[in-house]
Amino acid sequence: MKFSKLVKVTFVAAGLGAFVLATMAAASETKGKYFFKKNCKTCHTEGKSGKLVTPLTKTQAQWKQYFSAGKHDHGKEQLTKYLTPEQIQDVEAFLVAHASDSPQPETCGG
């Protein structure tokens, strides 16, 4: 292989790698909605132990603050008890995007 071609191939590979990493690191609102419904709503619907929690429960700033603390159930435990750190980032992205003061407030089915 000619040197110039090798350089080109290396650049393309590095670019692709960076793209994959960037995609993986970005939190996904869509996945967050799925995880929230699947893992959090089991306890967070009307009449359940966690009481009703929806994206509207907090403002965008309050959700960000909540997730940066990472504590759950009045500080008794970590949110990582229920989801992986990556999944928690997705749930945060979903809740922040649809918080009470967001451009698209959403209740997530009650």
Tokens of 45: 């619907």
Q: Considering only CA atoms, which of 33, 29, 41 is closest in space to residue 110? A: 41
**Which residues between 80 and 99 bind ligand HEC (CB under 6 A)?**
82-83, 91
Count of residues of this chain found to bind ligand HEC when the rule CB under 6 A is applied: 17
Neighbours of 28 (CB within 10 A): 17
Contact characters 9-48, ligand HEC, x per CB under 6 A: ------------------------------xx-xxx----
- What distance lies between CA 56 and its chain's CA centroid? 16
Question: Residue 72, interface with ligand HEC (CB under 6 A)?
Answer: yes
Tokens of 41: 């709503």
Residues lying near ligand HEC in the complex (CB under 6 A):
39-40, 42-44, 49-51, 53, 66, 72-74, 79, 82-83, 91
